[in-house]
Structure formats: structure tokens, C-alpha cells
A and B are shown apart, each in its own frame.
Chain A
């Protein structure tokens, strides 16, 4: 079965500093990988995704992530954080499974990293 580990429960970063959020996954095949962001009291919004091809993917809000197959990692980065980046960040792996009627089961999520921005 697939799994996702986000080693850092909380991270505190000063505004304007760089950011890296870690994500490690376990999956038997080439994964589909995602980063989502959740602002307080809101649903999840997709930041970026990796399916194939270039291992460095760009997302919204100035975020990027790099897929490293040898390390089973998909770390999220941003060169300079803003106070509005304070949120919960979730890494997820696609657990694609075919059923006779078509369709798939859902993504498997990590437990999230809470990002705090210091002024």
C-alpha cells in the first residue's frame, strides 16, 4: 500500500526567508504526486502536481517542487515566503486503482505540515 510521510509537523520561517517542506512517499510504481495548501477553515487547494517528465514542477503562488525518484521524495520549495503563506500543507500520492466500472480510489495524504510565518 502507498504511504506519505511529512516529517515536520510544524515549521516556523521568517517572512522573506526561503522555505522547504519535506515529503517522502512509498509507492510501488511511478507515482502521481501532489501538494495541496489549506488556509484556516477552508478546503484544500492544489499548489502543484507531478505526473511525468521534468522532475522540477512549478505551481501557483511561486511554489515549486522537485521529484527525486532515488530518494522517494517530493519536497516543496519557495525562495521567499510571505505572511499569507501561513497555512497547512499536504503532500499526497496518487493511488490509482481500476475498478470494473471504471474510476479510482482517492489520494493518500500525509499528515500535513503547519507553516508559521514570523514577521
Chain B
């Protein structure tokens, strides 16, 4: 079965702390994504990566950075957490296959709910 695992389901941090959210997928997918989910705003793309050490900004990258040192792992980093980063964070992955139809179907983790005090 397809599996995307987010290491922390719930985190509570203080303003100014550095926060790491880890995501691992076991499907050998090329693409990995970090979304943020807020009530009334739906899912918004923060960053994505289509290969090791490659990253692209999404719609709301400010205040975030990412790291992808291995194909299966994609980390979201909040260098200095702020209260407006309190949210649900969702990691996802998708397959890219050269020469085949790529639909963009996403496989999601369970989410990490971050509270910044």
C-alpha cells in the first residue's frame, strides 16, 4: 500500500523557535509537496520538489524553507515560527514517469497540526 508518513501529528512550539516537519514516502515517487490547510482557505501549496535537492516555491513560501536530501524524505522548516503559522500541514507525493501519462494524483500523509504560542 502507498504510504506517506509525517513524523509528528501534533506539535506545540513557541514563537521564534525553529521547527522541522518531516515527511517520508515509500513509493519511490519523484514529486513531493507541502501544503498548508486553514479553515475557509482550503489547501495552499508551500513548496514542492521534483527531485533530490530540487525545490520550487508554491503559492505561499514566505517564512518556510524545505530540504530534500534523499528521494524518500522531504522536510519543511520554519526558521523562526510565528503565531500565524499555526495550521495543519499536509505532505503529499506523486509519481512522475517519463514517457507515461502523469496525472498529478497526490497521495497524502495524515497531517501535522502545529500550534505556535
User: A residues bordering B, Cβ < 8 Å?
Assistant: 9, 32, 34, 36, 41-46, 49, 51, 90, 92, 94-96, 99, 101-107, 109-112
User: B residues bordering A, Cβ < 8 Å?
Assistant: 4, 30-31, 33, 35, 40-43, 45, 48, 50-51, 54, 56, 58, 90, 92, 94, 96, 98, 101-111, 113
A76 nearest CB across to chain B (Å): 16
* Alpha-carbon distance A34/B25, docked complex (angstroms): 21
Given contacts A46-B106, A104-B102, 17 further A-B pairs with CB under 8 A are A44-B43, A49-B103, A49-B105, A51-B101, A92-B106, A94-B104, A95-B104, A102-B96, A103-B50, A104-B50, A105-B48, A106-B33, A106-B35, A106-B58, A106-B104, A111-B40, A111-B41
A90, B42: Cβ atoms closer than 8 Å: yes
Instruction: Please tell me which one of the listed residues B31, B42, B90, B103 contacts residue A103 in the complex, with CB atoms under 8 A apart.
Output: B31
Residues in chain B near residue A94, CB distance under 8 A: 103-104
Instruction: Please tell me which one of the listed residues B96, B106, B110 contacts residue A106 in the complex, with CB atoms under 8 A apart.
Output: B106
Q: Which residue of A lies closest to B54 (CB)?
A: A101
**Consensus secondary structure, chain A interface:** loop
B51, A43: Cβ atoms closer than 8 Å: no
Residues in chain A near residue B54, CB distance under 8 A: 101, 103
* Alpha-carbon distance A90/B43, docked complex (angstroms): 9
Residues in chain A near residue B41, CB distance under 8 A: 111
Instruction: Please tell me which one of the listed residues B31, B98, B111 contacts residue A42 in the complex, with CB atoms under 8 A apart.
Output: B111
A50 nearest CB across to chain B (Å): 9
Q: Which residue of B lies closest to A52 (CB)?
A: B101
Residues in chain B near residue A102, CB distance under 8 A: 30, 50-51, 96, 98
* Alpha-carbon distance A106/B110, docked complex (angstroms): 18
Of B103, B110, B111, chain A has the most CB atoms within 10 Å of the CB of B103
